[in-house]
Amino acid sequence: MPYLNTRDGTALYYKDWGTGRPVILLHGWPLSADSWDDGALALAEAGFRAISYDRRGFGRSEQPWEGYDYDTLADDLADVIAHTGADDAALVGFSMGGGEVARYMSRHGGAKISHAALVASVVPYMLKTEDNPNGTQQSVFDDMTAGMKEDRAKFFASFFQDFFGIGLFGNATSDEEVHHAWAVAMQAGLKPTLACAAAFATTDFRPDLAAFNVPTLIIHGTKDKTVPIEASAHAAVDGIKNATLIEYDGPHGLFATHKTELVADLIRFLKT
């Protein structure tokens, strides 16, 4: 299997499909690059080079004890870009992956990036504070941590119900798709799972928004219970210059529930 080593020696598993202008796909928590397979295949068939990788601690990548803060994760992304020689690339971040896009744009100056897309992204700030009243209460994240520590398998069985909008959107996602997501989530280490949950819950990306110096597409579900749209996409489109927002009538897991529409919108955006 193809691996690359980051600057601190962590081995990351990656996929590199197709030829053409690179599109780097960053997955959400607590999944792996496999969650982007449908989109990656469609992008490759449309003439793009689709690159995806398992975040450290998840999927087939190594599970070090340290390195689950967004500065390190953005450095990992920089190392992926360098290793694959991805010039004039587009970054597409789903959920937690949107934070890596934002931090890369600020920490690495958006080097070699031509387009950015945030899909159901945690950007700019999930936590409810006095100056972020639409955010999520800290108690919600505390309950998530407690649930994972007590019985992670049971926690994720419930978590993915809201993630995919089960019961809200009919049969938009099959039982098998939900089970696959659960199985992939259970591949991740407990330490990375907890540490990354803390990172996306508490990292404030509002200072990073000014670093978006490329055309940016934001896609979000209006009924997203995992990352509510008000504190995320609505705030992000206000803070990012040259950003466009597309709202779907859908939940969080748009890569599965709205995959045809999502890929079409991404390809249309990337061709502009």
The catalytic residues are: 95, 224, 252
- Count of Cβ atoms closer than 10 Å to residue 112 Cβ: 17
Four-point Cα dihedral 76, 81, 85, 89, nearest 10: 170
Q: In what order do the strands lie in the sheet with 11-17?
A: 3-5, 11-17, 49-53, 22-26, 89-94, 113-119, 216-221, 243-248
